[in-house]
Amino acid sequence: MVLSVTGDGTLTVDPHFPRESEKLVKTIDVTQGTDPRALTRQLIGSYVTGYDVIEIRAKGRIPVELRRTIQDFARRV
């Protein structure tokens, strides 16, 4: 996204900013003790920051509560 100010003071927001083909990737590591609310904040922050890919990793299985959090986030965006 590009924000620019024109000569007459108008603010222009352009969601299509040309950039290199390299994708921005954010990796979030979760554990059994990860707070679902903290994970939601990390996901929203990564999305708003403009990451193209958000990877969620865990050693072993992702706990059910965190899977629900991830699924809810994916449905919203």
Q: Name the residue ranges covered by the structural domains of the chain.
A: 20-76
Chain mean pLDDT for the chain: 87
Higher-confidence position of 5 and 63: 63
Answer for the pair 3, 12: CB distance below 8 angstroms, yes or no.
yes
pTM of the complete model: 0.71
Q: Nearest CA to 28 among 38, 40, 41, 42?
A: 42
pLDDT of residue 48: 94
Mean pLDDT computed over 17-22? 67
Greater model confidence, 7 or 72: 72
Burial 44-55 (b: 16+ CB within 10 A, else e): eebeeeebeebe
pLDDT digits (tens, 9 = 90+) for 34-54: 999 999 999 999 999 999 999
